[in-house]
Structure 1
């Protein structure tokens, strides 16, 4: 099976789900911990444009930063960070925490994690919408705006703590256009072309 390598300076859709469809978020605090660990392990290699965390799976739209180096030295000099390795460390850290807290063993995520190069500008716009609409698409809520664990509200608040919110708003042409674009952009049938989990 071909696995798309990460390319610096490119956008990627990263997604994965629990083994055999198992929930990867067992309780509310797990969502916050997932984001905390993601920032710790991946904040230096990715710029994050959108995300959705949904009980048994997640979606991330990221931009792979260029010429990333970890700000510490070893005997060989500066350490070059690797996006795939950082994600693997992140997934392992999160899975170990869930296993310990819930007395389970074995892998939590399907392996390998999925990633797709996004090299079309209109697809980036659609993918941001798709990430936010996902909770409604899967029936977790009637209105995606009621789902707490996506980047929709953080982007509207222009929260740049780990999201590239300002860049997303600029991409859409401002917060008003961002909101309008999210109002019924696609019907459920049209959204099926983006469903990949």
Structure 2
């Protein structure tokens, strides 16, 4: 499986400010479905240290998640801010009404080390519970899910304020599928990077700006663990080649 992928990073507190530009709330539908949507158990996999997952964030009724470039950047910044202490990101793709992430949950020691950088008054109840009982795997699942939910709430609050709207934006619960083995992991990474082509948004997935493919090719990212991707694909050239070979398999039909 995917071993030794975590690169230790110092957790830096960030303010909750929003770079969103204003917009018209009339762009949204007046009536919303409830954010709680029925989700099969296969899409609610528990989070365990050392395992990888495919996470999908979908909007309610196809509402637009990103209205401009700054929205995309803020979404990724918030994702990193909340999730960096507990996981490493291996791939992402942001589309208008949903986003895909491939992540790897950090081991207990790395999570504890990362939480140690957070000042006491910023620690959540889930963080404190895990720190007091790090061998309890159920607390890791609770911690990761709480951090993801806090990330989603942070983004929704910022968007609501910028667009003078109220209410939910994401379907709940978010979907997560545990990845089983290296073949599944490679498929998930390529599928995610090629998702814009799969949906017919672009003819070539490399034309889509908000995919981690560009981070890896450019060898720079504040979101993706590029070193881990390089080890897994045995170098950048092989990473590019595998995408070119397999991309046609992953963009047909609906996801």
- Give the TM-score, by structure 1 length: 0.90
In structure 2, the partner of 1:35 is 76
Within 2, Cα distance between the matches of 1:102 and 1:55?
16
Match of 1:149 in 2: 210
The number of residue pairs the alignment matches comes to 193
- Of 84, 90, 114, which residue of structure 1 is paired with 2:151? 90
**1:15 deviation in Å?**
0.4
- Structure 2 gap segments, 5+ residues each: 1-39, 131-139
Equivalent residue number for residue 21 of structure 2? none
Partner of 2:243: 182
State the partner residue of 2:28: none
More helix by share: 2
Larger strand proportion, structure 1 or 2? 1
Could you say which residue in structure 2 is the equivalent of 1:171? Answer: 232
RMSD between superposed Cα atoms in Å: 2.2
Give the CA deviation at 1:192: 6.1
Q: Quote the residue 1:19 is aligned against.
A: 60
Tell me by how many angstroms 1:23 deviates.
1.3
SS across alignment from 2:107: coil
2:250 to 191, 194, 197: 191
Distance in 1, Cα, partners of 2:47 & 2:86: 11
Residues in 2 aligned to 1:147 and 1:193: alpha-carbon distance in whole angstroms? 17
In the other structure, the counterpart of 2:47 is 6
Residue range with higher mean Cα deviation, 172-181 or 79-88 = 79-88
Measure, in 2, the Cα distance between the counterparts of 1:63 and 1:128: 12
C-alpha distance after superposition, 1:108-129 (max 9, x if no partner): 0000000000022101111111
- Asked if 2 retains the 8 angstrom alpha-carbon contact of 1:13 and 1:60, the reply is yes
In structure 2, distance between residues paired with 1:48 and 1:7: 15
Secondary structure, aligned partner of 1:185: helix
The structural deviation recorded for 1:156 is 1.5
Q: Where in structure 1 are there 5+ consecutive unaligned residues?
A: none
What is the DSSP-based 3-state SS (H/G/I as helix, E as strand, rest coil) of the residue aligned with 2:203?
coil
1:33-182 residue pairs with structure 2 within 5 A?
A: 33-67=74-108, 68-69=111-112, 70-71=115-116, 72-73=119-120, 79=128, 80=130, 82-182=143-243
